[in-house]
């Protein structure tokens, strides 16, 4: 069975400092993993995805994530936060039949 | 590429009326589309999965007679909320999958039932 745990419901960082959003997954087979971002009253935008290629995945807007099988983690990072990064972030694992399993989301606040 | 649109972006309707929401994949053919519902400050809840030309598969607890889904073509799926009531007010998001593994999401439709 597939499941996702986002370890922090809320993260606050100062503008210009690094961002770390944590995600652990459970999967009975080699997973597909995704990070999506959602700005208020908007749909979800794909940031990046891991599909069993390189373990370090680079996405849009300077975000990247590293797949660590031994730790069952897929944490999202960015070296320097920007005000426009403030949003809700969802870690997602792909399951059987193309179904997605969502984490509960992490709200990122960027302090000027 | 991989753009998904939804229409309308938001709608207000009277209790008892029906509302149709369209989801279109603009630059790719979507073999599978998904409909989600999102409550404030919560994650997405999958309502149903639809494949082009076949009946939608509904998640447990979702009334298929209330939430009618039609996936008539490879670029269009519709969700009709029949006899809407205030408790149906929510943010509805669709997604479309063309090839393998990745879902591309629409911008969402805010429904308010008075």
Residue B42 pLDDT > 70: yes
B4-7 vs B19-25, strand pairing mode: antiparallel
The average pLDDT across A61-81 equals 96
Nearest to B97 among A43, A98, A102 (CB): A98
What's the pLDDT score for residue B98?
Answer: 77
Q: Which of A49-53, A65-69, B54-58 has the highest mean pLDDT?
A: A65-69
What's the pLDDT score for residue A41?
Answer: 83
Q: In this structure, what token pair is assigned to residue A71?
A: 């730790």
| B28 vs A: CB within 8 A | no
Q: How far apart are CA B46 and CA A21, in angstroms?
A: 23
Residue B1 pLDDT > 70: no
- Sorted by sequence, the CB contacts under 8 Å of residue A61 that are 6+ apart come out as A47, A78, A85
Question: In this structure, what are the phi and psi dihedrals at residue A62, rounded to the nearest 5 degrees?
Answer: 80, 5
Stretch 51-90 of chain B: residues touching chain A, C-beta under 8 Å: none
Helix (H, G, I), strand (E, B) or coil at B32: strand
| A101 vs B: CB within 8 A | no
């Amino acid at each position: 069975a597939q499941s996702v745990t986002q370890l922090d419901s809320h993260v606050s960082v100062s503008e210009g400092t690094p961002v770390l959003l944590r995600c652990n997954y459970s999967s009975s087979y080699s997973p597909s993993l995704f990070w999506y971002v959602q700005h208020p009253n908007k749909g979800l935008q794909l940031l990046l995805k891991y599909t069993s290629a390189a373990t370090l995945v680079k996405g849009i807007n300077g975000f990247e994530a590293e797949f660590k099988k031994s730790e069952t983690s897929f944490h999202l990072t960015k070296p320097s936060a920007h005000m426009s990064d403030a949003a809700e972030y969802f870690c997602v694992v792909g399951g059987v039949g193309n179904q997605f399993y969502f984490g509960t989301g992490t709200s990122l606040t960027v302090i000027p | 590429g991989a753009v998904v649109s939804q229409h309308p972006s938001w709608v207000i309707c009277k209790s008892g009326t029906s509302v149709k929401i369209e989801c279109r994949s603009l630059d790719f053919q979507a073999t599978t589309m998904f409909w989600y519902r999102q409550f404030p400050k919560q994650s997405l809840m999958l309502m149903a999965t639809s494949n082009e030309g076949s009946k939608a598969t509904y998640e447990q607890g979702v009334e298929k007679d209330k939430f009618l889904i039609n996936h008539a073509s490879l670029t269009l799926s519709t969700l009709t909320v029949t006899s809407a009531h205030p408790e149906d007010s929510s943010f509805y998001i669709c997604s479309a999958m063309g090839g393998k593994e990745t879902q591309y999401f629409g911008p969402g439709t805010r429904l308010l039932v008075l």
